[in-house]
């Protein structure tokens, strides 16, 4: 399958969405980009694409936006791990958004959807995990639940409505073009550079360059099999502490902190205090007790042979992805809040 007809990217001012728009334009594909706030023009400066307003919570806006579109890249979602009302602000938005956009795509006559799921929707009980192991059994986090249940709903709706759908599952995306606010993953590198990570949490992330994921989305559109899911990640994860160590070796002049280990009960106490402060301030805490319970010690290692073989996905190493992302942040100091 080749792709030269109109493509639509939702969430096009977000980290993946914007880099995907740029990738498709370079491929010579006409792009329509949707954003919730049409006044947010900065991510599209100098880009040859049509920008329209659409919100995943408003189905009619997507029926309009998807007219004449052949391939729909369903990127837009609520991507946050903390909210005052997680079910309402994260889970309900993502589930309803999945239903609205897929139904709208079917009504508009879209041929193919690349649905952006997440490694959050994978089963981690056996490592390295692969697509065929099914869905995440840990139900403690509303964002994770929304990606699990959203992907299941997406496949079910697509089958029912007779529309081709391929799911891609990215890991922690960093690097390249970015605008404030930074996504959760990129935000961790910002915390490292700003010396704001106080302790070793034993939390690991599977770093992946956002440009590799953008290319993976395109490869899924032209090569992915209908009804299949593909992991877009690296084989090995890195702890936040090892990432801090790498950053400190690359930039000795910055005198970056490498967080020290503390006993787990103390980690929970620190996270509890941060949650208390966030309730008073209304701002997301740096760390929650749920983060420690769910992610401390969890290895996010993947078998990506399916994406390599079927799509031709070939990502740069996590170390190189981190190195290039740090360069970008340092060169774009406004993203560091300095």
Q: Is 260 inside a domain boundary? A: no
Q: Which residues pair with 200 in a beta bridge?
A: 261
Chain centroid, CA 231 distance in Å: 12
Q: Give the pLDDT confidence of 117-176 residue by residue, as tens digits.
A: 999 999 999 999 999 999 999 999 999 999 999 999 999 999 999 999 999 999 999 998
Q: Are 77 and 116 in contact (CB under 8 A)?
A: yes
Cite the DSSP H helix spans in the chain.
15-26, 59-65, 86, 93-108, 142-161, 184-193, 210-223, 240-250, 264-281, 289-295, 305-306, 318-331
The alpha carbon of residue 87 and the mean position of all alpha carbons in its chain are separated, in whole angstroms, by 19
Tell me how many domains the chain contains.
1
The pLDDT confidence band at residue 113, using thresholds 50, 70 and 90, is very high
Q: Could you list the residue range(s) of the whole structural domain that residue 118 is in?
A: 7-183+207-235+300-319
The reply to whether the predicted model has a pTM over 0.85 is: yes
Instruction: For residues 35-56, give the mean pLDDT.
Output: 94
Average pLDDT over residues 228-236: 98
Query: Is 195 a member of any domain?
Result: no
Average of per-residue pLDDT across 242-247: 96
Q: Average of pLDDT values for 323-333?
A: 95
Q: Give domain status of residue 291, yes or no.
A: no
pLDDT tens digits, 1-12: 455 799 999 999
336 found inside a domain = no
Residue 68 in this model has a pLDDT that exceeds 70: yes
Assigned domain for 157 exists:
yes
């Amino acid at each position: 399958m080749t792709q030269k007809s109109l493509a639509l990217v939702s969430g096009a001012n977000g980290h993946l969405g914007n880099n995907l728009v740029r990738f498709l334009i370079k491929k010579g594909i006409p792009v329509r980009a949707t954003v919730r706030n049409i006044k947010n023009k900065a991510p599209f400066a100098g880009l040859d694409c049509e920008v329209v307003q659409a919100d995943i919570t408003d189905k009619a806006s997507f029926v309009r936006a998807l007219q004449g579109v052949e391939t729909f890249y369903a990127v837009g979602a609520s991507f946050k791990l903390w909210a005052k009302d997680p079910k309402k602000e994260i889970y309900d938005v993502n589930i309803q958004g999945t239903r609205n956009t897929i139904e709208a795509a079917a009504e508009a006559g879209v041929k193919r959807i690349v649905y952006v799921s997440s490694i959050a929707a994978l089963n981690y009980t056996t490592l390295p995990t692969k697509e065929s192991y099914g869905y995440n059994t840990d139900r403690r986090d509303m964002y994770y639940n929304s990606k699990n249940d959203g992907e299941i709903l997406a496949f079910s709706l697509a089958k029912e409505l007779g529309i081709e759908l391929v799911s891609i599952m990215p890991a922690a995306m960093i690097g390249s073009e970015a605008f404030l606010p930074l996504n959760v993953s990129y935000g961790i590198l910002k915390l490292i550079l700003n010396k704001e990570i106080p302790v070793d949490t034993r939390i690991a992330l599977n770093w992946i360059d956002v440009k590799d994921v953008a290319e993976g989305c395109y490869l899924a559109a032209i090569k992915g099999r209908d009804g299949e899911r593909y992991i877009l990640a690296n084989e090995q994860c890195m702890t936040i502490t090892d990432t801090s160590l790498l950053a400190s070796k690359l930039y000795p002049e910055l005198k970056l902190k490498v967080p020290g280990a503390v006993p787990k009960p103390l980690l929970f106490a620190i996270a509890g205090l941060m949650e208390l402060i966030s309730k008073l301030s209304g701002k997301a805490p740096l760390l929650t007790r749920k983060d420690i319970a769910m992610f401390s010690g969890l290895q996010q290692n993947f078998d990506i042979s399916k994406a390599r073989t079927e799509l031709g996905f070939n990502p740069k190493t996590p170390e190189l992805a981190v190195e290039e992302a740090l360069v970008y942040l340092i060169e774009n100091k406004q993203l560091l809040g300095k």
